[in-house]
Structure 1
Amino acid sequence: MSDASIALLEVLDRDDHVRHYLPISSWPVRVGRAIDNDLVLDDAHIAAHHFSVDSDEAGVFVRVGETVNGLRADGRHLGAGQRSAVGERPLRLDAGDSHLRLRLLEHALEPELPLRAPRSVWHAAGPTTVAGLLVLASLLFGTWLDQDPDDLTRALASVLVAALTAGVVWCAGWSLVTKIFTRRSRFWWHVRVLLFGVLAIEFAGAAANLLAFSLSWPAISDFGFVYTYAIAAAMLYFHVLALEPRRPQRMRAMAVGMFIAGTSLSLWFNHQNRDQFGEELYMTHLFPPALRVAPAVDTATFVKGLAPLKATLDDKAKKRDSGGGDEAMVDEE
């Protein structure tokens, strides 16, 4: 750009990276599809003379030409003939499927961002390595608890191979999509998102079970799937953020929508299958008695508390017997 330039009109790609720019040394500047414009855009949704940038006593402004689609200036829609002043910051312009940014000489530059280079190999790979080892230990420990000693070796090998294969395929798939859209794979970013997400799910599940047992509040573990969906939605947000780093609000809205949809469906299916919104029919997680915080209940009080359950079970039994009688009548006919 020459010393006489007073502004710069940049053409941006979908990631807001500068694809092309036009140095401006005098006003007005015209933009459109016609070849007599100062900046020619090959976009079927842009008019021959779509808009122009000019100045007067009040300052620099953008004026929309004869177009049916109009122009968006910093998100505000402008119709044909309308104008918008350029403020103290670069002006984002969206015309058709094209994205532009107008920068004036007096616009202040954003401060330089420091490179996020790790201080050492440990700072680069240490957290990921520790998270991977913790996930692996959690999976192997759960397998050791669930399996018989005779089948333990085979089960541990199967879990190890399945976990590594699934993790590599998952992260490689996200990396491929990220590479296609942003030209950077960011493989280790997706690995960290997966590992820390799995650790968070394991920790949330264990904490919910422990609290439910300690406080004798089964609802904490009964609705454990809600915590899982919340963490999965956060994982999805950070995965997709690698694809659209400049649209975090849209990505957050998508993650919240997925969380609400998943939770709602689980609540509906639980109610349809078990006549309750929770997931567990009874608390199945036992911990050492020393961890109990809730006061102990004597046998008489416990049996007395089961009295309301008898009416519910009798009602279900009557409904089942009534259905069986109807089926028998149909068979006899």
Structure 2
Amino acid sequence: MIGLLEVLDRDEHVRHYLPIASWPVRAGRAIDNDLVIDDPHIAPHHFQVDADESGVFVLVGDTVNGLRVGGKRFDAGQRIAVGDTPLRLAVGESHLCLRLASHPVQAELPLHTPHSLWHAAWPTLAAFVLVLAALLFSTWLDTDPDEWTRALGSTLVAALTAGLAWCAGWSLLSKIFTRRSHFWWHVRVLLLGVLAIDVAGAATRLIAFSLSLPVVSDFSFVLSYAIAAAMLYFHVLGVEPRHPARMRAVAVGIFLAGTALSLWFNLQNRDQLGEELYMNHLFPPALRLARPVDSDRFVRGLAPLQSRLDEKAKKRDAGGDGPGGDED
């Protein structure tokens, strides 16, 4: 055997392969090929692999779709030289790999098998406990003592239901496209993402309070959107592992679009790009690092607001001068 022509699944596993004992080797949809590929976007005789004095090459056959190698399209009649490494071919909606006997075999990858069930479960359990603690604490802060038990029960039920439905939906997509559910992968992605968003929100509020920089918490939603986009990327990676670069581009695009829309809505609703009209979170005074401002200096700092308030008052008065606006 001088080579293998492998047909790959979406998760890069080999679906089936053709041992090559001599050249040429033909591939396509017709049954007289050496490798028959059931793909409606593949021509009856789509390509062949052959060799001459210059080496092994792939010759594109009579096809309108051509084939792609490394993102570059090759049309009918063109040749692609096979180098010193396996050649990946995108043919129609199928993906193939041509491996020659002279190609080096990649090193064996270590198998990340946990030593016990505890070693496999403890990261997920730790993330779950931290997320649960953050949920309990936020519910305790936002609820009256008399209503805390009822609010806690409804919050836990809603959070667990939403989390399980979210992970189950992603697991179903993974099962459809990769034949593996990756359920615990999606659970870990969700828990770590929610925990990261909580930590980022608390950190930005603390920095804003300690250093008297309200702009940090005013734009904390940008950091939350970045974490959410990273969550989406890792979820999609369990569904489409073949194109990580493309998935990263999609996640970045969603992040930029979400951030731009939030900035635009804030500008329309609040006449400012930030999310908060004022810093409404207070921490223990011992955590305050910024120097205090005396009352006289604070009042002088409010002087520039006078012109803005007068301008808004004039606009409001001008809006009431229309028909029916003056009842004198």
TM-score by length of 1: 0.94
Distance in 1 of aligned mates of 2:96 and 2:139: 55
Mapped partners of 1:147, 1:43: distance in 2: 59
1:331–1:16 distance in 2 versus 1, CA, 3 Å: farther
Q: Distance in 1 between matches of 2:208 and 2:73?
A: 53
User: Cα deviation per residue 1:152-193 (whole Å; 9 max; x = unaligned)?
Assistant: 111111112111111111111111111111111111111111
Three-state SS of the structure 1 residue aligned to 2:322 is helix
Number of the residue aligned with 2:170: 174
Q: Does 1:121 align with 2:130?
A: no
Measured in 2, the distance between the counterparts of 1:46 and 1:190 equals 35
In 2, the alpha carbon distance for the partners of 1:44 and 1:182 equals 21
Give the number of equivalent residue pairs: 328
- Equivalence for 1:111: 107
Report the Cα offset of residue 53 of structure 1. Answer: 1.1
1:295 Cα shift? 1.1
Tell me, yes or no, if the aligned pair for 2:266 and 2:275 is still in contact at 8 Å: yes
Q: Which residue of 2 aligns with 1:238?
A: 234
Indicate whether 1:91 and 2:87 are aligned. Answer: yes
Partner of 1:60: 56
- Aligned counterparts of 1:106 and 1:93: Cα–Cα separation in 2: 18
Partner of 2:249: 253
The residue number in structure 2 matching 1:79 is 75
Indicate the residue corresponding to 1:211 in structure 2: 207
- TM-fit CA distance, 1:328: 2.6
Distance of aligned partners of 1:155 and 1:239 in 2 relative to their CA distance in 1, 3 Å threshold: same
Where structure 2 has 5 or more consecutive residues not aligned to the other structure, the ranges are none
CA distance in 1, matches of 2:62, 2:150: 73
**Residues 164, 47 of structure 1: CA spacing in aligned structure 2 closer, same or farther, 3 A cutoff?**
closer
Paired residue for 1:275?
Answer: 271
Deviations 1:81-101 (A, max 9, x none): 211110011111122222221
Matching residue's letter, 1:185: S
Deviation at 1:331, TM superposition (A): 8.9
SS in structure 2 opposite 1:325? coil
Residue 307 of structure 1: CA displacement?
A: 0.4
Q: What is the CA-CA distance between 1:197 and the residue it aligns to? A: 0.8
2:314 is aligned to 318
Partner of 2:298: 302
| Residue in 1 that maps onto 2:194 | 198
Secondary structure of 2:44's partner?
coil
CA RMSD of aligned residues (A): 1.6
Identity %: 71
Query: Displacement, 1:329?
Result: 4.6
> Structure 2 CA distance, aligned partners of 1:245 and 1:46?
23
Aligned to 1:45: 41
Match of 1:147 among 143, 148, 151: 143
